[in-house]
Structure 1
């Protein structure tokens, strides 16, 4: 029986054996190109998020244990927000097109792709780590800087508002009855209003040219305002004033009115108040913990949403403005913040938004130099 020819003897030079090497090299080049494109798309944001996490490991006690206990809850927030956003989109598109398959066409072609996932998944992981780190830092504010500035802030608030505490001015308009109960419910829609748009911007292609600027601003808000400034300006807010500094005070009546409204209407605010206080006195590591008033992240995120919405749709921007003003009133009326907490936040967010636009070369920044054109929205 004749011997079978050896493979190398029958293959021409540069034949089939060379093909895998060529394909491998091309694959590596494509991977490198993709990683470069991914870095250009969100590199500064990922770097900023990493700095927040590194600071956590350097400055906080036993961060790994806290992460193990709470991080998946933070990530689940964004996953749930994605699910809500996708469900809303499918319902809207199905009603509009009267075709479920047509509603899915955009998702299959643009959203559920490996290229989009390779950008969105790292962003979601990074964002959840930033949120989780913020919560851990917030729980340790009093360790780094004991609460002591409320006395100053409440006096500044009074002077800025013609010798009257802002909560008293609001009470004269809406009282502490059914309007308080309605405002209380709206106030906690904030989580839906913030996390769902954020999940949308994380998970979809950058149609409006503001994705990177928004996400970087998001990290700046939670990292710079929520961690650095909140620690430097350590304060508890009117709702905890008597518990920390002793009473009676200018806020004793406020808390009593909230307690009366709670008895009549069942305020979420009072439940959250006791939950945060319990976590504070027991030094508990939870997904929602820590007490901080200045600056107000509730108000800061509303301003950020408004800045982003301006580059999407004027009606969306108007809705964001109305919602932001409602949260502003609620933050004072429900005792969580001094008015100046919101003022400082608004100024800070505008500056951080501009900084993020400069660092990312955002289309939103370039668009401000002239009228928007079709090309700028592509």
Structure 2
């Protein structure tokens, strides 16, 4: 997938998302306009990031003679527009999923988690580890660092990477992380996650989860406020506002994994940092109660498997070219 194809794909994805919303939900117009408003409000930040990356790209191109200034600027603009359309389309579809199917898969994921962790609940394990970890720092990465990198990755590829095969490969992983994992597999295993389990299904299985957070700092408080807001928006506004509830699989972990893969592809020396990055996002996704552990495991397995296939395909194509 080239940058030009990414732009066309993003526009097409947004149009399909709007069509799906109008087919499955009564408040489609409100939901679509809200998601577009969210993206429009983020455009100034997106343009600032694009300007910064373009500046860096121009310097790199001048030194290594990899791209012309015009190519760098045009590619950054195309990637920015494609990213805006792509993210708007994702939000529209994600918040429309409960109108296609009801949430149903949580009890199954609870059982799978217990089997995988020898009878223990992963969130309990993560909270027992929490006293030994810099949780507020990890919460900042989960809350702010992940989102920034997730949004700007296509723009960074457009401006700072001259390896066409690698850019195409990472863009395919990027689109797959959001669409296949965040939309298609999410619909196949529609779930609310541990933090909302008791409120949705009844009972008190996860009653100790919110109360067992360690003393909450500013970043964790933002996460807790966001969780409560998501529930209010789901119960009172039909997910027409906000980013919606959906646990399985984890887009957080899938995007973190592809970022880790990209770092490794740029330099094998970055592999330890990449592993720590993915582990931190996986850990916080479980600790906060947004996700079951299987959500992250499935995302890692899918992204790594797809990457191995794409890399083998590209190496084979290079041999015969």
With the shorter chain as reference, the TM-score category is 0.7 to 0.9
Runs of 4+ in 1 over 6 A off after TM superposition: 109-112
Say if 1:338 and 1:212 are closer, same or farther in 2 by CA, change over 3 A: same
Specify the alignment match of 1:345 in structure 2: 299
The 1-side partners of 2:107 and 2:167 are apart by: 39
Q: Which runs of 5+ in 1 are unaligned?
A: 1-39, 91-101, 370-378
What is the CA-CA distance between 1:116 and the residue it aligns to?
3.0
Is residue 299 of structure 1 aligned with residue 240 of structure 2? no
Question: Where does 1:194-209 land on structure 2 (aligned, <5 Å)?
Answer: 194-207=150-163, 209=165
May I ask how many residue pairs the two structures share in their alignment? 312
The 1-side partners of 2:295 and 2:317 are apart by: 31
Does the 8 A contact of 2:136 with 2:217 survive in 1? no
Specify the SS of the correspondent of 2:113. Answer: helix
Is residue 280 of structure 1 aligned with residue 228 of structure 2? no
Which of 136, 151, 155 matches 1:181?
Answer: 136
What is the CA-CA distance between 1:146 and the residue it aligns to?
1.1
What is the CA-CA distance between 1:113 and the residue it aligns to?
2.6
Which of 64, 75, 84 matches 1:128?
Answer: 84
Does the 8 A contact of 1:303 with 1:324 survive in 2? yes
Specify the SS of the correspondent of 1:262. Answer: coil
Which of 208, 212, 217 matches 1:257?
Answer: 212
Segment drifting more, 121-130 vs 288-297: 121-130
Question: Where does 1:306-325 land on structure 2 (aligned, <5 Å)?
Answer: 306-325=260-279
Is residue 221 of structure 1 aligned with residue 177 of structure 2? yes
What is the CA-CA distance between 1:187 and the residue it aligns to?
1.8
Say if 1:171 and 1:82 are closer, same or farther in 2 by CA, change over 3 A: same
Say if 1:242 and 1:263 are closer, same or farther in 2 by CA, change over 3 A: farther
Specify the alignment match of 2:25 in structure 1: none
Larger gyration radius, structure 1 or structure 2 = 1
Specify the alignment match of 1:116 in structure 2: 72
The 2-side partners of 1:168 and 1:350 are apart by: 27
What is the CA-CA distance between 1:103 and the residue it aligns to?
5.5
Specify the alignment match of 1:79 in structure 2: 47
What is the CA-CA distance between 1:112 and the residue it aligns to?
7.7
What is the CA-CA distance between 1:351 and the residue it aligns to?
3.4
What is the CA-CA distance between 1:350 and the residue it aligns to?
2.3
Say if 1:170 and 1:57 are closer, same or farther in 2 by CA, change over 3 A: closer
What is the CA-CA distance between 1:231 and the residue it aligns to?
1.6
Specify the alignment match of 1:331 in structure 2: 285
**Which string of whole-angstrom CA distances, capped at 9 and with x for unpartnered residues, describes residues 303-325 of structure 1?**
11122222211233321221111
The 2-side partners of 1:342 and 1:184 are apart by: 17
Is residue 57 of structure 1 aligned with residue 18 of structure 2? yes
What is the CA-CA distance between 1:331 and the residue it aligns to?
1.0
Does the 8 A contact of 1:85 with 1:196 survive in 2? no
Does the 8 A contact of 1:74 with 1:132 survive in 2? no
Does the 8 A contact of 1:157 with 1:339 survive in 2? yes
Is residue 152 of structure 1 aligned with residue 108 of structure 2? yes
Specify the SS of the correspondent of 1:320. Answer: helix
